Amino acid sequence: MTTLLVVDEQVNSRLLYQAEFQEEGYEVTVAETTEEAMEKIHQSKPDIITLDLKMPGVEGIEFLRKIKEEESDIPVVLCSAYAGYKKDFRVGVCDAFVVQSADFTELKMIIKLILNHKKSDLTLH
């Protein structure tokens, strides 16, 4: 089963993501803080991560850099209500950037595309 780690400080967002993606057949783990997320990444490496940019303590962009330094093969989709971050050069290391919305269609499509691409890369090697 494909595992998804949702990193978001907002409890309602985490619950909504969890419900949406469990319905799609994913095993979903959630984290409220970047520290909790890193523990979960080290415990059981997820197949993909969704990361909110506005996080307490370490900002999402800084945490993205840390993930990519330690676990560069895990795809990370940045999710933010702030579309202006798309222009920030620091988000360039993410695998995708999605503007948060009540409609999960775009996010679900992007996650499927990334995971399918990852699987095809594994079969080519």
Any idea where the domains of the chain sit in the sequence? 3-124
Residue 120 — pLDDT band, cuts 50, 70, 90?
low
Query: What distance in Å separates the CA atoms of residue 52 and residue 123, rounded to the nearest whole number?
Result: 31
Spell out the long-range contacts of 27-36 with Cβ–Cβ below 8 A and sequence spacing 24 or more. Answer: 27/1, 27/2, 27/3, 28/3, 28/4, 29/3, 29/4, 29/5, 30/5, 30/6, 31/5, 31/6, 31/7, 32/8, 33/9, 33/57, 34/7, 34/58, 34/60, 34/63, 34/66
pLDDT tens column, 41-85 = 999 999 999 999 888 777 788 899 999 999 999 999 998 876 665
Q: For the chain, what percent of residues have pLDDT higher than 70?
A: 86
**Which pLDDT score, from 0 to 100, does residue 83 have?**
66
Q: For the chain, what percent of residues have pLDDT higher than 90?
A: 62
Q: What is the 3-state secondary structure (H, E, C) of 94-110?
A: CCEEEECCCCCHHHHHH
The owner of tokens 């994913």 is 26
Joined together, the tokens standing for residue 102 give: 């009540």
**Which pLDDT score, from 0 to 100, does residue 74 have?**
96
Domain 3-124: top CATH class = alpha beta
pLDDT tens column, 10-19 = 999 999 999 9
Query: What distance in Å separates the CA atoms of residue 7 and residue 32, rounded to the nearest whole number?
Result: 6
pTM for the complete prediction? 0.89
Residue 124 — pLDDT band, cuts 50, 70, 90?
very low
**Which pLDDT score, from 0 to 100, does residue 125 have?**
41
